């Protein structure tokens, strides 16, 4: 398994709609395994393929707390087939938007359809942190970041800071 380099905003790869997976074969399984390794290395509870520069509809998650057994999800082509009218707010972060956090409102419960690691179609119900995380990761597959759910003022403040941080990283020291 390998830790893959993360794509950090602003980057056009994070704004593109990712391509559907035709079937979960060994290539997609390796991508899923490398993404889990990357998610753990970056201390995340989720990761979507566009965040490692790959335009495929693949996400991974582990929402277990540190004192719990890992509960890893590996999904291709995840889609929300039902969402509750009830919404909940949760403070979100993003590995591609480092050091910024904000409350985002989303449907509290969802029904999800996806293709699993064995290339089987599955449906599960999700609520709590799993529902938050899945919706955040599916947003990535559609080129949407959590800051796109904020007011234009809050989004533009964070976007300006991200651009400044990226420019500072690209500049050689003492220039």
Candidates 36, 94, 147, 158: give the one binding ligand K1U (CB under 6 A). 94
45 is a site residue for Zn ion (CB under 5 A) = no
CB 63 within 8 A of CB 133: yes
47 is a site residue for ligand K1U (CB under 6 A) = yes
141 is a site residue for ligand K1U (CB under 6 A) = no
How far is it, in rounded angstroms, from Cα 158 to Cα 73? Answer: 30
62 is a site residue for ligand K1U (CB under 6 A) = no
137 catalytic, yes or no? yes
CB 23 within 8 A of CB 71: no
Nearer to ligand K1U, 23 or 161 (CB): 161
How far is it, in rounded angstroms, from Cα 2 to Cα 80? Answer: 30
Beta bridge partner(s), residue 109: 127
94 is a site residue for Zn ion (CB under 5 A) = yes
How far is it, in rounded angstroms, from Cα 64 to Cα 123? Answer: 20
Candidates 96, 107, 147, 149: give the one binding ligand K1U (CB under 6 A). 96
Residues that bind Zn ion in the complex, under the rule CB under 5 A:
94
């Amino acid at each position: 398994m390998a830790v893959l380099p993360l794509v950090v905003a602003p980057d056009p790869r994070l704004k593109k709609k990712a391509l559907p997976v035709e079937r979960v074969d060994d290539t997609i399984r390796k991508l899923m395994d490398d993404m889990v390794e990357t998610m753990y290395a970056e201390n995340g509870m989720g990761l979507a393929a566009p965040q490692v520069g790959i335009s495929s509809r693949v996400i991974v998650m582990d929402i277990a707390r540190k004192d719990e057994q890992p509960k890893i999800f590996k999904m291709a082509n995840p889609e929300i087939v039902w969402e509750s009218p009830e919404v909940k707010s949760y403070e979100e972060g993003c590995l591609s938007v480092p050091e910024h956090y904000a409350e985002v409102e989303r449907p509290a419960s969802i029904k999800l359809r996806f293709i699993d690691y064995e290339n089987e179609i599955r449906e599960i119900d999700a609520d709590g942190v799993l529902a938050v995380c899945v919706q955040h990761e599916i947003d990535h597959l559609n080129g949407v970041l959590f800051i796109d759910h904020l007011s234009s003022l809050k989004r533009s403040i964070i976007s300006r800071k991200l651009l400044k941080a990226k420019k500072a990283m690209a500049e050689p020291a003492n220039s």
